[in-house]
Structure 1
Amino acid sequence: MNISFRQLQVFLAVYEAGSFTVAANGLHISQSAASKMVAELENQLGMTLFERTTRTVVPNDAAREFFEFAQDVTATMATAKRSITELITLERGKVSVAASPLMHYGLLAGPIASYRQRYPGIDFEIHECSTDETLDRVRSGVVDIGFCATDSEISGLEATVAIEDAMYAIVDDAHPLARRRSIRAAELLPYNYISLRDSYSIRRTLDQIFARTPLRFENHIEVGSLTAALGFARQGAGFLIVPGYAADIAQQWGMRRIAISDLASFRHRISLIRRRTTRLSVAARHWLAVLPQSFPLLK
């Protein structure tokens, strides 16, 4: 069996696009070339991978089984390609990191800026993503490293806790609770609650916390990013509950952070995410080695 890297690339593109034409355009090859490479791959495997009609290409069970293996190989090759183009002396290299926009702002900008002062030849490619997007980009090899909260073990990925944050209520400066340093969660019930959609780990953490209490908050405003949620809170539209790093940002932006005494034992855990079976590039491995200086839990 002599399966080529290019065949795997074409297979993955067709699988994800559901179309030879769309996949071929994305890879800058002809539709006939894409079709030929998939046919050659099927011949080498001894099985068909797609059900073809005049308009659609539908993956069959064999394709779904093969997809994860093909993804593993291409991700590993992509990492290897990055690694061999770098110098061991770290005069040149690139690290790609995925996390939410505010996580980059509040947690990662400092460590990355400090690292680049010491190693100016190392570039960083920043991906601003939701939790689910972060996991997908690490899994597919698009990025070297991700930071997000995970509530369960994820196949093929390794998660190491980097930060444990308490949760805080955030209100604008004119809110009735703004002068309080600490409250009980039930004191928030009369006020408008601003929540994130469940594609964000903060929302999932809060859902888990509230599932263990009798508290039930009605979502008055539901948003798709933490930046938007803080913007609504700053304008007096309601309160939100966030981990410490986001509460620090809220204070910088003129809002008030309030400790929630009966939720003090709960923690929002942010993990460093990497592929379990992939060897990282030289630059990424070196950055990981110095990260415990910023995140002691990684030691």
Structure 2
Amino acid sequence: MAIDIRLLKHFDAVFRLRSFVKAAEEQSVTQSAITKSIKLLETKLGDVLFDRTTNRVTPTDTGERLIVHARDVIASLHVFEQQSTRVHNIETGCINIGSGPYPLQKLLTKAIYSFSKKHKFVQIIIHTGSPNVLLSKLIARQLDMVISDISKFETMSFFEQISIHTLPVEPLMIVHRKGHPIAQANVTMADMLSYPWALPKSSPHFTRLVSAVTNKDALAFPFPQYLVEVPSACIELVRRSDVLTSVPKSHAIDICQDPNFAMSILPPAFQTNDGIHTLKDKTLGPAAKEFHKHIETTAQNR
């Protein structure tokens, strides 16, 4: 019985996301294509893979048994594709990397630059999105790795399948407009939190740090008042108002090359919490392994 790998990928997406609609969005196909793939797979197997109701998609016992083998096949194919791209010892493969908003701004871009000077034939594709989206893509073998705040994945159901390489920490700084009142001496964290903040969705790590130094009920504004997933948009809000934002020190230094901005120090506990996330049961291709090393080196030299 021959089974198209595409059917297995569609099956895996529905299994993980528990939704035909979300699976179609992730796989960049129509919902009818996903439905057709599942029906064709069920016909080949002679059994139902999902129990479907109006509001729920639940794997059957057959679906639960098949997913393990389906993922093995998908992972093996990915490794084969990576290895087969090596022609005459020149790597011409593709690395798929997921990234949180802050690693992408400085750490990842520097690593890409240094890597590409030595491996100019390797394509690098950067994926952004919510932690849920990035983790789902990692589990589905669509990503080789994710560089993100470690705490963003800690409560997710697939967390036990992830291997984490913790990166060296970097101080977090507050960025504000030049002449902002918090630039004065002896400003406390409570003073800083009396102004509105603009941040990408805060990580549990950052939220815990804020909670440890302030009384949430005493805050003048919701924290953060502005949830903006694009860091550059946060910076524009800072430019035009008394809004504050926080970024790693290396990025803050770059931002403050613009004379309209200045930075202030946060308490010592406020540091980055980033790591490289990979699947425990997935073998990285040669190019991805090498890029992993470049990220580590870049983080150490910040």
Partner of 2:118: 118
Alignment of 1:52-91 (within 5 A): 58-62=57-61, 65-66=64-65, 69=68, 70-71=70-71, 73-87=73-87, 89-91=89-91
Gaps of 5+ in 2: none
Partner of 2:286: 282
Q: 1:248 to 1:97 in 2, by over 3 A?
A: farther
Partner of 1:256: 262
> How far apart are 1:36 and its partner, in Å?
2.6
The 3-state SS of whatever aligns with 2:182 is coil
Partner of 2:165: 160
AA paired with 1:233?
V
TM-score w.r.t. structure 2 length?
Answer: 0.77
Give yes or no for contact 2:198–2:234 (8 Å, CA) kept in 1: yes
The 3-state SS of whatever aligns with 2:181 is coil
Alignment of 1:9-158 (within 5 A): 9-15=9-15, 16=17, 17-18=19-20, 26=30, 34-41=38-45, 43=46, 48-51=48-51, 58-62=57-61, 65-66=64-65, 69=68, 70-71=70-71, 73-87=73-87, 89-151=89-151, 152=154, 154-158=159-163
> How far apart are 1:283 and its partner, in Å?
1.2
Give yes or no for contact 1:197–1:222 (8 Å, CA) kept in 2: no
The 3-state SS of whatever aligns with 1:170 is strand
Measured against aligned partners, the alpha-carbon deviations of 1:41-100 in whole angstroms (never above 9, x if no partner) come to: 3x3xxx5322357x8983335377458633454244223323322237234222221113
Measured against aligned partners, the alpha-carbon deviations of 1:191-224 in whole angstroms (never above 9, x if no partner) come to: 22334434xx3xx222111232334343263223
TM-score w.r.t. structure 1 length?
Answer: 0.78
AA paired with 1:94?
C
> How far apart are 1:29 and its partner, in Å?
6.4
State the identity %: 17
Moved more, 91-100 or 214-223: 214-223
AA paired with 1:277?
D
Measured against aligned partners, the alpha-carbon deviations of 1:147-178 in whole angstroms (never above 9, x if no partner) come to: 00112382211111113122222211131223
AA paired with 1:239?
L
Aligned alpha-carbon RMSD (Å): 3.5
Gaps of 5+ in 1: none
Give yes or no for contact 2:146–2:277 (8 Å, CA) kept in 1: yes
Q: 1:27 to 1:3 in 2, by over 3 A?
A: same
Give yes or no for contact 1:24–1:31 (8 Å, CA) kept in 2: no
